[in-house]
Amino acid sequence: MATSKSVTVIGGGSFGTAMAYLLAANNEKVKIWLRDEAIVNSINSLHENLRYAPGVILPSSIIATSNLEYAIADSSLIFVSIPSKSFRKVATEIGQYVTGDQILITTTKGFEQDTFKSMTELLAEETPCLKIGALSGPNFAFEILSGMPVGSVIASRFNEVIEKVQKALGGKTIRIYGNEDVCGVELAGALKNIYAICAGIIQAGGFGENAKSLMIARALSEMSRFAFYFKANPSTFLGLAGVGDLIATCNSELSRNFRIGRKIVEGLSLEEAITSIGQVAEGVYTLKAVKEKADNLGIEMPIVNATYKIVYENQTIPMVLEELMAIPHKKDIEFKFTCPD
């Protein structure tokens, strides 16, 4: 049953297309904005995104446009699925057309490189909208478009935002959970991409499942430690946006970041690996930003440092692994959770 007259997705990549696909089940009209006129035409005439989702027939209620003002008009709920490198620029353009009472949801998992600001922070800075949220979780576009079950987390300070996203997206194949910890959800979604690169390196290097499990478990500690500095809730990392997304991206060829790690081990340069993927792998940029931020703040993140040495400094895997394994032993659990009386 339709829940609203019109919702909008800004960004026509694979995930933006997947969002439009899900939204079409509950909304009378879904507008999707993208700059590429060829893709606009293929969606409107063939009901197919020939570049990012070939072979998937999209509902006829999805209307593609390259006119941002038209895309935003009469939509109370707007999802923004734009790569982090271009996010502020597009957010500024969005700010020219929104009225301030519309709801903006980012699905981008990353940071702005120069400022280390999150995507919700950029939306707050560049638009007059106050009701803002972040959607995250283990959400591979291919599986969404294939009709497979999926779960997501919508994080916002406003209950209205959480409820409206749950109503607009919820359906037979997707469960939407709410969370008030916007900072934690955004940090989890961005940080896990770094460890997906590392997982790809471990997999392609033939180091085995024990090594990958060790890395994933310690990655969760690193993520929580980093986020704790920003006053995020460590419990958030035990949910879908944290451990759920971490497990998915560290174990699947559907993860662009995982494939980046594999291709580096196979001998490709970072630039060649990025080109071969053909789509944005946010972890490449997040790795650099997090390494710099952790160094500046004095936050211990050995796996981030090790991955950075392999990806950006071209150090050999055996050398980096030896350094990593020589780190003094630590406690397994860093945070204690107390049960209420």
Tell me which residue has tokens 């600001």.
117
Residues in the chain, total: 341
Asked whether 137 and 154 are in contact (CB, 8 A), the reply is no
Query: The tokens 């026509």 sit on which residue?
Result: 12
Catalytic residue among 192, 212, 291, 309: 192
Closest listed residue to residue 8, CA positions, set 93, 77, 106, 90: 77
Q: How far is CA 233 from CA 85, 116, 201, 242, 330, in A?
A: 27, 19, 29, 11, 22
- List the strands of the sheet with 62-65, edge to edge: 62-65, 27-33, 4-10, 77-80, 103-106, 132-136, 150-156, 174-179
Whether residue 192 lies in the annotated active site = yes
Question: Which three-class secondary structure state does DSSP give residue 150?
Answer: strand
Residues acting as catalytic residues: 192
